[in-house]
Structure 1
Amino acid sequence: MDSKALQDSPDVGVTVVAPDWTIVEWNEAAARITGLPADRVLGKTFWTAFPTARGAQAERVLQDVLVDGQPRSYLAPVHAPDFKGTFFETQASRGPRNRLILAFREVRPELSRESGAIVAAFDEERRLYARLFKILPIPALVLSVDGQILEANAEGGSLLGAADVRSLRGRPLADWVPAAQRSPLAAALREGVAKRQRFRLAVDFAGESVREVDAVIENLDPQRATPKLLFLAIDASREVLLQRKVLEADRLSQLGSLLSGVAHELNNPLAAIAAFAEVLKADATEPGQQEAAEVIQTEALRAGRVVQTLLDFARQRPHMRGPIDIKDIVARVIALHRSALKKARVQAIDSITSDVPAVIGDPQELQQVFLNALVNAEQAIASTGRPGKVMFSSRRTEGRLVILVEDTGPGVPREILDRVFEPFFTTKGELGRGLGLAISYGLVKGMGGRMDMMNVEGGGAALAIELPVDAAPPEPAPEVGAPQTSRSLSVLVVEDEDSVRRGIARMAERLGHRTTTVADFAHAVTELQNAAGRYDALIVDVHLDEAHSGFDLFETLRLEGRGREHRLVFTTGDSMSPKTRDLLQRSERPVLKKPFSLDELREMLARLG
């Protein structure tokens, strides 16, 4: 029967279904057979007219026709009171534009009661399996061998970013897979016909971050000529990111230990350089020599501050809360990141005024917040391929200070502005972890502040960091000039590094004091046991030799009961472990951090004198 005769047949209902399962044609016979006039079904989904076909054999037959284009027929019972005992015999074929053409007629086969029960049982079982597929708590897809999606459950739709799973039908899964993984996916689908496949797959959609899934492919019916493959996925993105975070934490812990040793090896020579340079500057008679010595000392002290900043980031210490000089924090962060900024052709501009009020918080945590903000701004500018600027500014509002970090990068897409602080959300792909801004947000919130991200008119983005201002009155400024000792002191320098020992001695002598130097614990004890040796001040390094520390010498003096431990000053060139900090706190002795200046040494000895 040709198509025209088929359309006009009073006994054969004809309907045409679009790829999105919308009914686009419905002849008069279809309206008569089903009792549904055309105006009730045209433009509606196929399941409106045939609700019992969904999830049953009929739907699977139609999916097969869509996949391979081979016409098929099926017999399905009509579950309606007016059609009791009636079946629809349906012939399905694939027409132009991937549309389904269905021709159906009602039949009333003479089935025995037993046969009718068998048909009903089969139909019920199919419904049960279809229901099980839909309610699976993990993403599930039914695929053809070439990767075309035939069916998806709600979790599968969520994984692929589809609000309506019906919109996925007929689309290749490869549309959501990075190009590098499409060939391995195709191979897994082919091999999945004969054997279960397990593999890890990256899934991407709507410009959001890539999700990694642990996938399983299983042939639903190995006996079928046209295989259907079940694709199950477990979202492994968070697990992977947490594993990376643990590995990063372990690496950072190892880095912290390494930095402690490196800092000791750097700060000791820097202390010697700074000490001798300052003595040379003080003794220089020619302006050129004085200038050269001043440059050497200044750069040595600057290098020492950079090392100290690195240590502050690396070491673990208890949470602190107190007044913070924002301008100092910003200056340290810019200095720490100066090299990367130069390479990226990014200029950092600090427009924070010198009279900005102190804020309340943790200085190390705030350094982490500003460093993360600077790194994000630098990377945003670098992505444009052009030079740019990062500007730090501040304004005060109702007992709070707002610090703005603005950049001249591309800005943040409007649709993701409200997600930038979400954990694990990143637009940097494999280069990002999605933790930087989320951690910063938590740190600032813990200080009683808040953060906000916005786009700047004309291009770029601005990160606003709002913190409570220190309400305590500012401490009075120290008097100009360091206190002077009224007499010359006898100073014992206990330091294992020869150049540092000599440098400290030269600085003390330049201040008018008498010095004796020893290199280790044993010689220090011997010197102190000398009846003639009375020392007004002891400058002792925390780390002396393999067997002893400066704390051992402190304890020796404490136990002798003569009070000489109160004349001791510790020096250190590395980070302070929790144990070291605890011992320093218990000793209640001051600390000089290497490298230190002549003024710092003068002030310390004046306190002892």
Structure 2
Amino acid sequence: MKKCLAALLLSSVSFHAYADIFWRFRNPDGTTKWQWVANFSSSVLILTLLIVMIFLLLSNRRAGRANRELKDIKATLEDRVARRTASLIETTEALKSREEYITNIVESMPLMLIGLNQRMEIIQWNQVAETSTGRPIASVLGKNLWEAYPAITLTPDQVAEVLQTKKTMAIKHSQRDQYYFDITIYALTDKDETGVVILVDDITKQMKAENKVSERDKISAMGELASAMAYDINLPLQSILSSLLNAQEKLSSNEVSAIKSELLDTLKNACFSGKQASAIIQNLLDLASSHHHEKAPADIKVLMDQSINLAGSLFTDLSGLRFGDIHITRHYHEGLPHIPCYHSELQQVFVRLLRNAFHSLNKASHENPAINIEISEFYDSLWIKVQHNGKALSPLEQEDIFQPFFSISDRDPACPVEHRLSYSYFIITDHHDGQMSVTSDEKFGTCFNIQLPLV
């Protein structure tokens, strides 16, 4: 009961306080000071408006700053968009120009170009392909290669192998003296799809021209060998004929018994010349039948000694010098390695050099004919020098001696065909990847230099 009375009393006090919230604006007699209320309300309103105005000013400043930033961003964005657009346009034009350039290259290529995808369908077909096959690009795009061009000398297995291994394949297809083609197949790889490119190069004109040059060189070499052979065989044949004529004249006389010894000498010379002619012919037969397709190691010193012995049986002029009368000096360095070579060909080169020296010494009528041979090793090469003191070569002869007899020239050849060494030069430079040269003057004689690689 007491608690209820206390609560009721407290409630009445609180209500009374709330009901008199304007007690500060009342007069002692209980009347309200409305002027004060108006002044207080105006002050509160002014303060509120002032605060609102301050917030509005601050918000306006932030909005202005944000607006300026937005304008700057807009201007920057427009500039970036303009630059990016210009860059894209430039890139597009560059790509278009590059594409046109590549297309122009493909169309201007002097060989047939065919592009295939993984399904071996044609995706590229240049102008040469159109001209060569008579099929325009519109009629072959998307078709299988062998359906569009059945005459192509390729098989699907070859193209499939390139697609699988990603290795370039080169194929030569030819029909002698009719057509020659070089075919290259290589794979293109990207992230999306892998295809192949086929290049077909028609080299018929080039090969025919090269074959003509090769045939001319072969004919030139045959002419040189035939001329040298005729020259070498003619010497013993002339000696035999002279001996026989001399014997015939002496036999026709009445003093046969008195000239018996002279007849025997004449017949002996004729037999010697006959053996010499037979040796020359046998040497040519050995050369023709001794070619090997693979090189074999050889001791150059042994080949040179064999060549000197062979030259002794081949080169003799009964009216002049004999090869056996020439003083030969040999300087062979110790420990010379064997080199890979074609034995018979190098031996013929050495024999031809000794033959040239023999005829030069025979023309000079030298009192002390001599040939100096030196073989040495220098770095990765073997050097061979054949020097003699016979008749020197003129500058024009030095120019011509290694040239084929039928080579084109604007002057008459200075060196006769039977004394040229173009075939020997061909053997050294082409078959053995070496070098060959000559130096000659009256004071120091003539020296032929040969350089052969050790491997």
Structure holding more helix per residue: 2
Question: Do these two structures clear the TM 0.5 threshold for a shared fold by scoring above it?
Answer: no
TM-score (norm 2): 0.34
TM-score (norm 1): 0.26
